[in-house]
Amino acid sequence: MWIVRHGNRHDFVYPEWFNHAEKKYDPPLSEDGIIQAKAVAKRLENEPIKYIFCSPFLRAIQTAYPIAIALNLSINIESGLGEWHNKDWMDTPPLTQYPDNLEKKYLDIINWNYQPQIYPQYPETLEEIYQRTATTSKILTKYPNSLIVGHSVAIQGIIKALLNKNYQPLTIPLCSLSKLRYVNKQWQWEIQADTTHLSHLPPPKIAQ
Q: Span 7-144+156-190: which CATH code?
A: 3.40.50.1240
CA distances 45 to 48, 66, 71, 175, Å, are: 9, 10, 6, 15
Stated pTM of the model: 0.94
CA angle 99–11–150, rounded 5-degree value: 50
pLDDT in tens, the chain (208 residues): 999 999 999 999 999 998 888 888 899 999 999 999 999 999 999 999 999 999 999 999 999 999 999 999 999 999 999 999 876 667 666 666 777 778 999 999 999 999 999 999 888 999 999 999 999 999 999 999 999 999 999 999 999 999 987 788 889 999 999 999 999 999 999 999 999 999 999 999 998 6
Domain residue ranges in the chain:
7-144+156-190
**Phi, psi for residue 44 in degrees, rounded to 5:** -100, -5
Question: Which helix H or strand E contains 149, and what residues bound it?
Answer: strand 146-150
